Structure 1
Amino acid sequence: MSNSSILPPLKPQLIIPAAELKELNQRSNWKGSLQLLAHLTVMVASGIVWGTHLAWAQWWIALPAGVIYGFSLASMFATLHETSHRTAFANNQVNDAVAWFAGIFCFYNSTFYRRYHKWHHRYTQLPGQDPELEDPKPTNWREYLWEVSGIPWWIGKVKGHIRIALGNLENCPCIPEEARPEVIRSIRLQILAYVLFIGISITLQQPWFLTYWLIPLALGQPILRAILLAEHTGCTHDENPLTNTRTTYTIWPIRLLMWNMSYHAEHHLYASIPFHALAKAHEKIKENLTKIEPGYITVNRKIIDGFTPAH
């Protein structure tokens, strides 16, 4: 597969006229609140089933519930992503607050991520500029299983949080100098939240930190890793948003918990469009997209099929 597109980039405003884009860009506190409530409802309900049947050692019920609960924790990343763009709610302060608390659940930090992700959008798929390309994509089965396991993500997150909490933001050009104190303070507060949770668990002699966060989040990470691999893997390494990002059709529960991030090409073309309008945007631009797949399993199969055979 070529690393660059043979198609000339098409300006987004030529696909969706300004008047229609203005309508799609309308943010809504009501829709954002309903979406967040739905996500939290899945989290609470599956968490109760997980915790109850885990205590009773009914693994045939606990394990599926744990995977759902874990993915609802992991997919709070999608909540953080949407609110970091400040498109989930009409109020920026609400977006920022929800983003920070979502990061507690999914082990990301919104204050850092907002700046990091801005560079990803500015330099999407450009080697040496897009920070997401610093983590190499898998090229064989061993690398794929390692990536999807979530283990390298855990290692990177622990190291990154500690490094930044200690004030080290070297090799982070996406974080401007004036924002660094805020990022450091935010990560320190996040670590403090985990320390308090661990402290409460130990004080009450309950393994809550393990059973209601660490273990289920580890169960949910492989699903999120496979989904995130589908967004750009195998797409072109150039500035053409019609070819450097993939949209993936998926089932409603995944769209719900991922805040419609499956419409990823639409999101990269129009980062100002809220999650609830991405399906409408897709209908308007789908004929122009070159990377549309019928499901995440299909995408991951194609990624695996593209591995270079070992010699």
Structure 2
Amino acid sequence: MQPRDYRLTGPEGAHAQQRGLADARWYQSPVNKAAMRALLVRRNWPALRDTCIWFALLGASGYAMYATWGTAWFPLPFLVYAVLYASVSDSRWHECSHGTAFKSDWLNILVYEISSFLVFRESTTWRWSHVRHHTDTIIVGRDPEIASPRPVSLWQMVLSFFKPQAMWAEAKRIVLHAFGGRDSQAATYVPESEWPKIHWKARIYLLIYCSVIALAVAGQSLLPLMYVGMPTVFGSWLISIYGYTQHAGLAEDVTDHRRNSRTVYMNFLNRFLYWNMNYHVEHHMYPLVPYHALPKLHALIKDDCPPAYPGLWAAWKEIITAWRRQAKDPAFYIERPLPNSDATYERATASVKAADAQGFVDISEARTLAPEDVMRVDVGGHTFAVYRTANGELAATEGICTHGNAHLANGLVLGDEIECPKHNGRFNVHDGSARRAPACVALERYAIESRAEGLFLNTRPLPRTDAIKRWALRVVAVKNLSTFIREIELAPEQLTPQFTYKPGDYLRLCIPAYEARSLYLAVPTVSQAATWEALGLTHAKACNVQPCMRNYSLATNPVKDETLKLNVRLAFNGADEQTMHLGVGSAYMYSLKPGDVVEAMGPQGDFRIKPANTDMVYLGGGAGMAPLKSHLSFLLETEKTARSISFWYGARNRHEALYREYFENLAKQHQNFTFNLVLSEPQDEEDKQLNIGFVHQAMYDQFLKGAANSRAFEYYLCGPPPMMAAARTMLKKHGVPDKQVAFDEF
């Protein structure tokens, strides 16, 4: 078995998406709703008590260090201080990042920022890293926090107890961010809006460390470094003793936390230092549950989980055995025994309804909702969440969180806000606005009417409080652009308001729940039909048990084109898999026929043309064509720009190249535009007459290498993650500032 590529910018990420592992639905052990509500109660006292004890121990050991400085007794208080500083801070960092340790948000934020500095993690970057970890836990190519990659290097595992590689990597990243750069791995999961915050926090970290070093030099004493800096080196070993028990040696690429996480029984002292993170299966299943309630959650679900390990040594014996095997056999992992269970994925029981002609459904059972409670309602393939706030008011929103694939009826109502059960983002239930990251897009809202005969939910959305609107779009035409990429042409059903958007924007398509849906082949080429038949796609059926949203960029010119066009790539697992799995979003889109009507929200986006006169370079591949085509059509056919534009597009062969004739004609009509097609897998002699290789390398060899100043251009990139990562690395090596590189990664 070849070693896997654990980078987020490598090919494994795309493979995970094809297999349906990215932002997937995960198994949850069933928990009675009343019992879960009791577990979710937030309190300040437990975390305040534990934090005061922690700070007191830090202060006492720090004072003892000062008192014993220069004596043989100094190492004793220093080692205690170092562990409290660098290891115990890890669990505080973790729990406060979820916002569950304290009831008061400001306390969670304060302790999180302090802990982040102590554990040597830039707080904003790592907050988003941990969001991704909970989205795609131990999914190779998606999870940035896989601590035990295969094949295992036993020597590196031993070194990792002192974190030299991790600290060096974080130090380089902090310096890079402090000077305005962007780490390529972090750029795959950190939103654009967060980078200014990351830059100034990195500068604060750097300023503190430089000040401590300056103080040590000025005082000609190492003592300042013993308080800040050196504790990270000598005190991180306990993180490894605790942390590796979470996932090391267990299964990768599964969607069941019982198979990739451990629960380990620990004594009172270890649970205090680790803040009950030894209940790690429970934490991943239900991240909304505060750390102090995890033992009770364990008692409720333990019969549906593999047996807990009796102690740290029992877990470590298994880990060491697994590491030794994985050093020689990367395919080996420990398969945890699962009990027989009838549990389902969804904790929130859906109330399935049928709407009347006006779109109303009877939800009279919502009258029984207690304050700060929520229920789920499903209507015609769509799903809703109905809330009762702390003051007794009823409200309703769309059911699925706009950030992740999680139903809000499984979340926690706090006052007039709903907290997502997956990433702890929050929304106001009255106006739908996003109130806490990672949530950033508002929810759709729905009216509730009280009548003599009961309560009724209007399934037609209320006007939004932002510029985003919901649209009914009729399928005008379906066209196969390549073997697995399709153009879907849409037209708004309503004439007013007019659908307006900017080049580079995208739509959020509403994917309803559906059963046994077949793919529509449209008008295939002979080779495409044969390929689909060979792969089993012609007769494949897809199903989707939970409504969700999928983003698709617009490939059209907002001024010239009267309809909207999307480029949709069919996602499915590879031919080496025993069972065919189709992506729920792309399979739905591939089932559409002319005349069908879909619902979408938008337009949205920040991949926009920058207002400048700088010459431009576009680089794309695959379905990344859509926003690039929108840009280029607008620039050349609408604005008639005089800016020099070079477009480099990568495909496997010329038959897989999207809109080839269109761009070749555009190049003939505009002297300031060049189109460069690069083929990675040429099929015949005609293919071999074109540029061969990787598109980013061809752009370098034939364009950038001979350019007088590579910084004189603006760069726009859109395509598969490996291509994007390679291109951005290449541009960085040539000194192109991040502000001159715009990208839209999918």
For normalisation by structure 1, the TM-score amounts to 0.87
Contact kept? 1:140, 1:304, Cα under 8 Å: no
**Change in CA separation of 1:288 and 1:233 when aligned onto 2, cut-off 3 Å:** same
Structure 2 counterpart of 1:71, from 59, 83, 87: 83
What residue in structure 2 maps to residue 217 of structure 1? 232
Match of 1:191 in 2: 206
**Residues 1:92 and 2:105 aligned together:** yes
- Verify the 8 A CA contact 1:231 1:247 in the aligned structure 2: yes
> d(CA) in 2 for partners of 1:209 and 1:178?
36
Once residues 42 and 139 of structure 2 are traced to their aligned partners in structure 1, the CA distance between those partners, rounded to angstroms, is 30
8 Å Cα contact 1:169-1:180 kept in structure 2: no
Q: Which residue of 2 aligns with 1:116?
A: 129
Task: Report deviation, 1:140.
Answer: 4.4
Distance 1:10 1:183 in 2: 31
Deviates more, 1:40-49 or 1:272-281: 40-49
AA aligned opposite 1:63? P
8 Å Cα contact 2:27-2:255 kept in structure 1: no
**Offset of 1:69 from its aligned partner?**
1.7
Q: Deviation per CA, 1:11-33: give whole Å up to 9, x if none.
A: 43x52222221221122222221
Bigger strand fraction: 2
List per-residue Cα deviations over 1:23-73 (Å, max 9, x = no partner). Answer: 211222222211111111222223333443342223xxx434333221111
* Equivalent residue for 2:93, pick from 80, 83, 99: 80
C-alpha separation between the residues in 1 aligned to 2:150 and 2:63? Answer: 36
Question: Contact 2:209–2:229 (CA<8 Å) still a contact in 1?
Answer: no
Counterparts in 2 of 1:13-28, with a 5 A limit? 15-28=30-43
The change in CA–CA distance for 1:16 and 1:232 in structure 2 (over 3 A counts) is same
Which residue number corresponds to residue 5 of structure 1? none
2:32 & 2:283 partners in 1: Cα distance? 16
Rounded to whole Å, the distance in 2 between the matches of 1:171 and 1:141 is: 25
The question of whether the paired residues in 1 share the 8 Å contact of 2:148 and 2:248 is answered with: no
SS in 1 for 2:152: coil
2:292 is the counterpart of 1:301: no
Deviation at 1:204, TM superposition (A): 4.0
Cα distance in structure 2, aligned partners of 1:200 and 1:135: 38
Q: Does 1:38 align with 2:53?
A: yes
Equivalent pair of 2:147/2:244 in contact (CA under 8 Å): no
> Alignment partner of 1:273: what SS?
coil
Q: Distance in 2 between matches of 1:206 and 1:242?
A: 50
Asked if the contact 1:39–1:256 (Cα under 8 Å) also holds between the matched residues in 2, the reply is no
Moved more, 133-142 or 299-308: 133-142
**Distance in 2 of aligned mates of 1:23 and 1:244:** 27
Displacement of 1:273 in angstroms is: 0.9
Q: Percent identity?
A: 26
Aligned to 2:537: none
After the TM superposition, which residues 264-275 of structure 1 pair with which residues of structure 2 at under 5 Å, given as runs?
264-275=280-291
Equivalent-residue separation in structure 1 for 2:312 and 2:166 (angstroms): 20
Q: Tell me, in whole angstroms, the C-alpha distance in 2 between the residues paired with 1:225 and 1:200.
A: 31
The aligned residue for residue 159 of structure 2 is 146
CA distance in structure 1 between the aligned counterparts of 2:173 and 2:131, rounded to whole angstroms: 18
Quote how far apart the aligned CAs of 1:196 are: 2.7
2:182 is aligned to: 168
Cα distance in structure 2, aligned partners of 1:134 and 1:32: 27
Q: Kindly name which structure, 1 or 2, has the bigger radius of gyration based on alpha carbons.
A: 2
- Between stretches 128-137 and 245-254, larger displacement belongs to 128-137
Higher mean C-alpha displacement, 268-277 vs 289-298:
289-298
Question: Whole-Å Cα distance in 2 between the matches of residues 291 and 107 of structure 1?
Answer: 34
Deviations along 1:240-280, one digit per CA (max 9) or x if unpaired, are: 01221111222322211222111111111111111111111
How far residue 129 of structure 1 moved from its aligned partner, in angstroms, is: 1.1
Q: Which consecutive unaligned segments of at least 5 residues does structure 1 have?
A: 1-8
SS at match of 1:255: helix
Residue 257 of structure 1 pairs with residue 257 of structure 2: no
SS of match in other structure, 2:319: helix
May I ask how many residue pairs the two structures share in their alignment? 299
Instruction: Give the 3-state SS of the residue equivalent to 1:133 in structure 2.
Output: coil
Alignment check: 8 A CA contact 1:107 1:157 kept? yes
1:52 to 54, 62, 67: 67
2:135 is the alignment partner of 1:127:
no
Q: Report the Cα distance in structure 1 between the residues aligned to 2:62 and 2:199, rounded to whole angstroms.
A: 31
What's 2:305 paired with? Answer: 289
What SS class does the counterpart of residue 145 from structure 2 fall into?
A: helix
Q: 1:296 to 1:52 in 2, by over 3 A?
A: farther
Question: In 2, distance between residues paired with 1:273 and 1:178?
Answer: 29
Task: Identify if the C-alpha distance between structure 1 residues 80 and 56 changes in structure 2 by more than 3 Å, giving closer, same or farther.
Answer: same
Return the offset for 1:87: 0.8
Superposed CA RMSD: 2.4
State the structure with bigger RCO (CA 8 A, min sep 6), 1 or 2: 1
More helix by share: 1
**Alignment check: 8 A CA contact 1:246 1:291 kept:** no
Shift of 1:183: 1.7
Distance in 2 between residues matched to 1:40 and 1:137, nearest whole Å: 38
Consecutive aligned runs of 4 or more in structure 1 exceeding 6 Å deviation = none
Give distance in 1, aligned partners of 2:139 and 2:103.
32
Residue 106 of structure 1 aligns with an amino acid whose one-letter code is V
Deviation (angstroms), 1:177: 1.2
Counterpart code for 1:302: E
1:234 and 1:182, CA in 2 relative to 1: closer, same or farther beyond 3 A?
A: same
**1:6 paired residue number:** none
Of 122-131 and 177-186, deviating more is 177-186
Displacement, 1:91?
Answer: 2.0
SS at match of 2:50: helix
Distance 1:246 1:264 in 2: 6
What secondary structure, in the 3-state scheme, does the structure 2 residue paired with 1:15 have?
A: coil
Q: For residues 112-139 of structure 1, give each alpha carbon's deviation from its aligned partner in whole angstroms, at most 9, with x where no partner exists.
A: 1111100000000111111113762572
Residue identity opposite 2:77 in structure 1: A
Q: C-alpha separation between the residues in 2 aligned to 1:310 and 1:270?
A: 35
- 1:146 CA displacement: 2.0
Write the distance in 2 (CA, Å) between the matches of 1:44 and 1:177: 39
Letter in 1 for 2:114: F
Q: More deviation in 244-253 or 48-57?
A: 48-57
Amino acid at match of 1:80: W
Find 1:207's aligned residue among 212, 222, 230.
222
Secondary structure of the 1:104 match is helix
Normalising by structure 2, report the TM-score. Answer: 0.38
Checking the alignment, whether the CA contact within 8 Å between 2:62 and 2:81 is kept in structure 1 is yes
Pair 23,209 (structure 1): closer, same or farther in 2 beyond 3 Å: same
Instruction: Describe the shift of the 1:246–1:64 C-alpha distance in structure 2 as closer, same or farther (beyond 3 A).
Output: farther
**By how many angstroms is 1:79 displaced?**
1.0
